[in-house]
Amino acid sequence: MVNNQPPEEERFEEEPPLEAFMEEEPPPKTRPLRKAVVMIVAAVVALAMLVQGSAFLFQHFSLDALRFTSESQQLEKEGDFEPFKEAVVAVQTDRGHGTGFIISESGDVLTNEHVIRGASSIYVHLPDGERYEATETKTDETNDLAMLALEGQPDNLPTLTLADTAANPGNTVYVIGHPMTHSYITNKGEVKESNDAYQVLAITNAVFPGHSGSPVLSEEGEVVGMVYARTSGENGNGEGLAVPLRQIHTFVEDDSGT
C-alpha cells in the first residue's frame, strides 16, 4: 500500500486569517462630564451672541437713535450735506470705532487720539464702501488729536477744509458722524462757548459713542472743531465738547511729528 501522505515535517495547515487573532474592541465609553462641558460652553457662546445681538438692537432702535436719525433725515431734506459727508470716514480698530475726516486728497485723515490708542490695527471706511488700512503718522495726546495715512496712496479723495476763523458763541454748527450703530448722521446745534484756556469748544449738538473724531462744521461747511467727548446730561444725553480750531491748525501745521 502506497503512502501518499507527505512526510511529517512537510505537513502544515493553512495559516488562519489575521482577523482570527483580533479581539473585537468594546464600544468606547461615553464621557458624560466631557459632553456636559461641551454643552455648557455651547450654551455660554449662544448666550453671549444673544446678548450681543440684543445690545445691538437696543442701541440701533433706542429712543436716542430714533431721535437723531429723524433729525438727520430732516436736515438732509433742508440742505445738501452730501459733499461734506463724502469726506467723513469711519475709523475702525480692534478696540472700537469712531469717526474721522479727510483733509488732503492723498488721504490724510484727522481723528481723536483716543480712538486709535492702543490699537494693533486701524482701518478707514469711506462712504463709497472702500476700505483702507491706515497708520498713524503723528499724535497729540494732550489735545486728543491724531493724523492717519491711508495705505495704497489713494488720490483725488474728497476733503474738508479747515476754517480760517474760529466759531463764536451763538453760531450754528453741524456734526456729521457715526454714533452708536449708525452711519453718517447729521445733527444741528450751536456754539455755547469757546475757551482756548481750557482748549475746549462747547456745542449744543447731541453727542453719543462713535461721534469721537467727528468734524464740527460751520454753515459754510468748514471745520471749526472736532468732537472728542460729551457732557453728562440727564438720562445719559450729553452735549458735545470739541477740540477748537486753533489746536487743530497747530497740530496739522506742525511737522515735528509725534
Say how far apart CA 81 and CA 257 lie, in whole Å. 33
Burial class of 89 by CB neighbour count within 10 A (0 to 12, 13 to 18, 19+): buried
**pLDDT averaged over every residue in the chain:** 82
* pLDDT(115) > 90: yes
For range 194-220, the mean pLDDT: 90
Query: What CATH number has the domain bearing residue 137?
Result: 2.40.10.10
21-25, 175-179, 209-213 — which is least confidently predicted?
21-25
The pTM for the full model equals: 0.74
CB-based contacts of 139: which residues, under 8 Å, 6+ apart?
A: 113, 116, 145, 146, 147, 258
Q: What is the pLDDT of residue 12?
A: 46
CB 158 within 8 A of CB 83: yes
- 45 confidence band (pLDDT: 50, 70, 90): very low
Lowest mean pLDDT of 45-49, 53-57, 138-142, name the range: 53-57
Q: What is the pLDDT of residue 68?
A: 78
Of the two residues 257 and 175, the one the predictor is more confident about is: 175
Query: Of the given ranges (26-30, 154-158, 211-215), which has the lowest mean pLDDT?
Result: 26-30
What is the domain count for the chain? Answer: 1
Task: Show the domain range for 86.
Answer: 80-150
Whether 253 is covered by a domain: the verdict is no
In a domain, 89, yes or no: yes
Instruction: Tell me which residues are annotated as active site.
Output: 114, 144, 212
